[in-house]
Structure 1
């Protein structure tokens, strides 16, 4: 497996065990996911507009106020991030 595939698996495992994670770990995972998605978008020459319709915005907001989010909300964000990374990985031919 490569780094991207490993990280997708880590996000899914974290989502499935979100209740066992501390806020700092949840924050770290979401921030890493956002950075990875941005990098993959650049590689794929996808314009980054960062408008309110950009699916990265809710991930960033969740990461920023992680202590106010329920486990269900964090789980959904982690799974969304994993899906976005998986989709970009396919688009990049990997």
Structure 2
């Protein structure tokens, strides 16, 4: 998997160019986000588990209905994923 900062940048870039993405590409990015958040959450002991679980559910639902998302909803969902990954990365950095 690409480095976390590179993946965050990829999500933000995709959100800013949402009209160029297919539903499949959006779904793939959201699925990668779910996997990344799960892995990072396991390594971050003080994360709010309920909030992380809610975000994961929202991302999974958005991924499964990517073809039905408006461009604005798709953009916002990709940015939410990037924000969550960034927050987890900050929490992990605080542990060191």
Q: TM-score, normalised to structure 2's length?
A: 0.86
Match of 1:42 in 2: 42
Deviation at 1:48, TM superposition (A): 4.5
Match of 1:21 in 2: 21
Match of 1:61 in 2: 61
**In the alignment, is residue 74 of structure 1 matched against residue 80 of structure 2?**
no
Show structure 1 runs of 4+ deviating over 2 A.
45-51
Structure 1 residue ranges without an equivalent (≥5)? none
Give distance in 1, aligned partners of 2:3 and 2:81: 15
Structure 2 residue ranges without an equivalent (≥5)? none
Match of 1:84 in 2: 84
Give distance in 1, aligned partners of 2:48 and 2:91: 14
Give distance in 2, aligned partners of 1:27 and 1:70: 13
| CA deviation vs aligned residue, 1:15-64 (integer Å, no higher than 9, x gap) | 0000100111101100000100010000113475589x712211110001
CA contact (8 A) 1:31 1:63 kept: yes
Q: TM-score, normalised to structure 1's length?
A: 0.88
RMSD: 2.1
Give distance in 2, aligned partners of 1:47 and 1:74: 25
